[in-house]
Each structure stands twice: as structure tokens, then as C-alpha cells.
Amino acid sequence: MPLRAETLLGLGEAGEGTAYFFLVDCSTSIYQSDMDGIKQMLASFATDRGNLDRLVLIAFGERVDVVLDGSEDVQTAVERIDGLAPNQNTTLFNDAVVKALDLAEAQQGGLPDHKVIVVISDGINYDEAAGRTEQEVLDRLDAASVPLYALCLPSADFGANPQAFGQLARKSGGDIRMADGSTVAAEFAGLNSHITAIKVLTLLASSNIIEAPEQHLAISITLGDRVITTGGIRTITVNAHVPDTIPPSITKVEQLDESRVKVFFSEAVDNAAFASSYVIRDSDNQALTIQSVTYSESDGTATAEVVLEGKPYSGEYTLEAAGVTDHSMEKNAVDNLATFEFEGQPVVYKYLRMIVFDYWWVLLLMVIIVILLIVFRALRRRKGLVKVDGKISFGDAVEFKHHFETPKTRSIRLLVIDAKGMGTQVDLDAESSVFIGRAKSNTLSFDDTKMSRQHFVIEAADEGFFVTDLESANGTFVNNDRLKEKRLLQEGDTITAGHEKLVYQGFGSASAATQVDVRGGK
């Protein structure tokens, strides 16, 4: 993963201190006068060091002792420094360095991230069989990236090796200086100016996701086209990250054409390439169908092209990125809804389509109602439907032409009583039907305005004669009961139509068949 250089600051500017691991040789090869100068220098450093700096003190010889772990106050530190003495017979130099690295890696007492080892000794003089090897020390220093600085003292015997001492310091990225009791403070001040000149380079990754507990770090410095230095490749331990507290957002929605929009995010995001990650709603809160999504990152800009199904209508829409998160350990979700205007089909098409496809049944019902109203008005205007001789016709346009062949053995007798109470006996020969009404074409016709053109009919049957009202305006009555269906006449029954009364007096035999033509007209 490429890293971007953010800042290059001094330790003080960066608000960081330094953890100093002082390793003091307490073997008998160290002169007492030199030890006195060392203790004075350490006491001064403990008193005057920066507020963020920490002092760890390890005394080594035939054993390795942690005198200060960096958590002590100034008075305690000075008292323990004063107890140092060159009174041990051997020098476990390598073991002391490894012990310091162990403490540095353990991060005891909240030590600063920047750590240095300062070894004050007359050189490497140890019993190799009894402790760590030089290669072990080199490997540990390389892995920890902790520089080792050396203050080399004059030796009380001839077993010291200042040359190897200096090589170790320089291989770790540190330096070596020769000193004695009178110059150790000044020589340390020179080394410390180099230590405090260290710059803190802040590098930022594209995300704070820890992908593995250990990662390789390679740093190179270039000037123009020329590589000044390369730091090689180091394995670093990754055990913490900077929390991401800022959620991503939709910064803009741009229409591309009649069915596509482009969504702009404030930063790179995850789960943005799925149609299910987006919800687009119109002003009626209806969700649009999303066909596909293409997500891309280019020149630091994260966008998603959303293809909509069909061609949306013009209007205002809202877009929600549900499930889209930033690329971080926290997985912060997009925290806003985006509102945008879309130029599409005219909105009137939307309502026409809604009426045709969603409310078709309303249209059908309206058409049926209109048709029924037209039929009803037509029937009223045409005086309804009548059935004559098995045929249905409009009541005001019925013209009848009936041929009756009166049975030779049957006739009907009626007593007709007019409005003035005058009675006339009428004998009619009948085959099947006798029509009575105002029209002259009826078998019996009356100049009675209360009667319909064809008011009622008397039909012959095997049982006798039946009377039926022909949907007359004022109705037909038998014995004062209005006819609602055909009725078998009984002798003496009184039929009332308009102002006229007809009394049925039965039927009998006729001497001969009679042909009667009946025509209806206005």
C-alpha cells in the first residue's frame, strides 16, 4: 500500500519525546574517576531532560540490572544513579543491549515512540559462552529500528575493543565518541544534539485498515530524478490505527442522460458497486428500479454510475446509499440523503399511465355506467320494451298485424261499461288474442285518453282466457287489483282500463269461424 508523506517535523514540533536507554558498564575495567563523571552526567540529564523524555537506566557487568524503568521522579532517579559502581568482574554487553530492546518493545510505562540506546563502556569485553552473540544483537537492532550511540571510555586493561564497539553503533544508525570522566558530559551533549535533530516523518495510508499484524516498509528519498537514499525494506509491527470519525457523504448527483445518474462521494467507499446499495425515490415516495451500478475511483474522486430501468419522469428525487461505507476500520456509513433534479419524461405521462394501468377498472366502470344511463333514457323515451307474439319491441313503436282464426267452438263475451255507466254486451270470436286499447287497430278500441294505444290483451288458452297488461301507462286492474302478470279470467271478473270497465261473462260455442284483421297505429 503506498504511503503519502504528510509532515516532517522536529520531535518538539511533533509533540514527541525520546526514550533514552542508558547502558552503563559497571565492570572493574572502568576507572572510578570515569564512573564519577558518568554519574554526574546522568544526574544532570535526569534533572534537565525535557518533559516528554524518559530515562531508562540499565547497569551491566556480570549481571544485567534495570536501575530505572522511566517512570521514576527526578529525586528517585538521582538517588539510584548515585548507587552505580564499577564492581563487577565480567561484561555481559550484548545481554544488556537485548534487555534494553526487550523493554523498548514492551512499551512499559508509556514510553515515547522514539527510542535510542546510549552505551557507556570501554568496549565489547565479555565471555561469549555466557551471553548473547554479536549477531543476535545486530539482528535485534535491525528489527527494532533503534539506533545505538556509544561513549567509549579508556580501559583499565587491554581486553577492550573500541573498533568493534564503533562498528556496532554505526551499523544500527548511531555513532560513537571517545570520552573519559572529565569529557563524558560534553561528548554526550554532542551525541544528543544529533539525537534531538531527528525529524518525525508522518506518513498517511489511503485507509486505516490493519491488513496484517506485520507489514513491510520501504522508504526512499529522491531529489528530482535522482535517488538520494533508500532505507531498504523493514518489517514493522502494526498494532494501532488512527480512528476515522468522519463518515463519507454524497457530495453531488449529476444526470448523465434520460436513464443514468452519476453519484459523487467525498472519499473512497466500499459496497458502492451493487444496485441493492442504492434507493432512489420520487416526490411520491415511490422507489425507482435500479438496473446496474458501476463504481470507479480516479484522481482521488470516487463515483458511481447508476443506470435506471426505463425512463424516469421529470421532477425532484432523493438518493440514499444504504450499506455504503468508507474504507476504514470503523466502516462509517454514508450519513446523508442527496436531493437532485431529473429532466425526463413529462409528468403528465405518469398520471396517464397510472390511470390506464393502475385504475383501468375505474374507467371501465364509468363506461358501463354511461352505457346504462343511455339505455335507461332510451327506454324511458321509447316507453320501455314489450313482448308481442314472442317478439320484444319498443313500446312506442309497436305495430301489430295479427291474424286470428277464431276456433269454431270458442268465443268470448264481454260487458263493456263506459264512463257514463252505459253497458254494451260484446261477443267476440277468438283464436288466441284479443287486443284492447286506444288505437283503432285493436280488436276493441276506445276514445279514452287514459288508455294506452295497446292497453291490454286477452289470450285464449286450454284453461280459458288470460288477461295481460301491455306495460300501459296507467295500468290494468282486475277486480281493482293491478295486474303485474297475466291472470286467468273467471266469470264475473271486472277489467278496468282508463275510464272503461269490461266484465268477463265467460265463453261458449260459435256458429262459424270468423277472420279478424287487427292493425295498430298512432
Cell numbers placing 299:
484522481
pLDDT of residue 260: 95
Q: How far apart are CA 370 and CA 360, in angstroms?
A: 15
pLDDT of residue 519: 33
| pLDDT, greater one: 160 or 134 | 134
pLDDT of residue 128: 53
Give start and end residues of each alpha helix (H) in 92-174.
93-106, 134-144, 162-171
Cell numbers placing 220:
526512499
pLDDT of residue 157: 57
| Tens-place pLDDT, residues 165-206 | 888 888 888 999 999 999 999 999 999 998 888 888 888 887
Percent of the chain's residues with pLDDT above 70: 84
- Nearest CA among 120, 138, 110, 146 for reference residue 42: 120
* Residue 15 burial (C-beta neighbours within 10 Å; 0-12, 13-18, 19+): exposed
pLDDT of residue 389: 61
**Cβ 316 vs Cβ 283: under 8 Å:** yes
For residues 298-311, average pLDDT: 92
Q: How far apart are CA 339 and CA 509, in angstroms?
A: 99
| Tens-place pLDDT, residues 83-132 | 999 999 888 888 999 999 999 887 666 788 889 999 999 876 555 555 67
Residue 509 has pLDDT above 70, yes or no: no
H/E run at residue 18: strand 18-25
What DSSP assignment string belongs to 333-388?
BP---EEEEE--B-HHHHHHHIIIIISHHHHHHHHHHHHHHHHHHHHHHTT-EEEE
Cβ count near 331 (within 10 Å) = 13
User: Distance of CA 413 to CAs 405, 422, 458, 488, 513, Å?
Assistant: 17, 16, 12, 15, 16
pLDDT of residue 403: 45
| Tens-place pLDDT, residues 376-435 | 887 777 767 666 666 776 666 655 444 444 445 478 899 998 777 888 999 887 776 899
pLDDT of residue 508: 56
What's the mean per-residue pLDDT of the chain?
A: 84
- Nearest CA among 376, 502, 383 for reference residue 443: 502
Helix 32-48 vs helix 184-196: crossing angle, to nearest 10 = 40
The beta-strand segments (E) located in 107-244 are 114-121, 148-152, 176-178, 199-205, 214-223, 226-237
Residue 256 has pLDDT above 70, yes or no: yes
> Cα angle vertex 300, ends 295, 303, to 5°?
25
* Residue 439 burial (C-beta neighbours within 10 Å; 0-12, 13-18, 19+): buried
pLDDT of residue 451: 94
For residues 70-87, average pLDDT: 94
- Residue 478 has, within 13 A of its CA and on its CB side, a CA count of 19
Confidence bin at 139 (pLDDT 50/70/90): confident
Confidence bin at 511 (pLDDT 50/70/90): very low
Q: Is the pTM of this model over 0.75?
A: no
Which residue in this structure is represented by grid cell 563524558? Answer: 184
Confidence bin at 12 (pLDDT 50/70/90): confident
Sheet arrangement for strand 260-265: 250-257, 260-265, 301-308, 290-298
| Tens-place pLDDT, residues 311-363 | 898 999 999 998 899 989 999 999 899 999 999 888 666 666 666 666 667 77
Q: How far apart are CA 197 and CA 12, in angstroms?
A: 10
| Tens-place pLDDT, residues 435-479 | 999 999 998 999 999 999 999 999 988 888 999 999 999 999 999
pLDDT of residue 353: 67
